[in-house]
Amino acid sequence: MSARVYVLNGPNLGRLGTRQVDVYGVTSYADLVELCETTGRDLGLDVVVRQTDAEHELLGWLHAAADERAAVVLNPAAWSHYSIAVRDACAMLRGPLVEVHISNIHTREEFRHHSVVSAVATGVICGLGVDGYRLALHHLASRRDQTA
């Protein structure tokens, strides 16, 4: 497995810190990028963090991650609940995929309870706030160490 990890974020996550702070917390997207990059540095991972509101852009990033056999941490945001295209791209990945949700989607509206991505993810972290990203990176680092 490559030490490169892509942390990919779907629609509206660029608005973290101002968006529904009661649900998603006060951490800004810039702070989230910093958290992931710092965690990656500490763990010896080459972490690349991205966010997009355009589905085709996420698909392109997932294709590139598949070609590189890279590990991915993905918060598909609203696409989790209906994008078969995102799921199909995730199914092509050859490295591990950790799906992260900041909020606990199971305690929210019913339409959020199902993620079409989860069945093709290695694992899912949800409801632990932005700490879920840090935990996902720790998990990927420990997998890498086990397979090294």
Active site residues: 24, 101
| 78 part of the interface to ligand DQA, by CB under 6 A | yes
Question: What is the C-alpha separation between 120 and 70, in angstroms, rounded?
Answer: 15
| 103 part of the interface to ligand DQA, by CB under 6 A | yes
| 137 part of the interface to ligand DQA, by CB under 6 A | no
Question: What is the C-alpha separation between 48 and 92, in angstroms, rounded?
Answer: 19
Question: What is the C-alpha separation between 18 and 39, in angstroms, rounded?
Answer: 23
Q: Which residues contact 42 (CB under 8 A, 6 or more apart)?
A: none
What x/- string results for residues 9 through 28 when contact with ligand DQA is judged by CB under 6 A?
---x----------------
Query: What are the tokens at 30?
Result: 């810039």
Which helix (H) or strand (E) element contains residue 65?
A: helix 55-68
Interacting stretch for ligand DQA, rule CB under 6 A, among 35-43, 54-62, 101-109, 138-146?
101-109
Q: Please identify which residue in 112, 114, 139, 143 interacts with ligand DQA, judged by CB under 6 A.
A: 112
Contacts to ligand DQA by CB under 6 A? 12, 75, 77-78, 80, 101-103, 105, 112
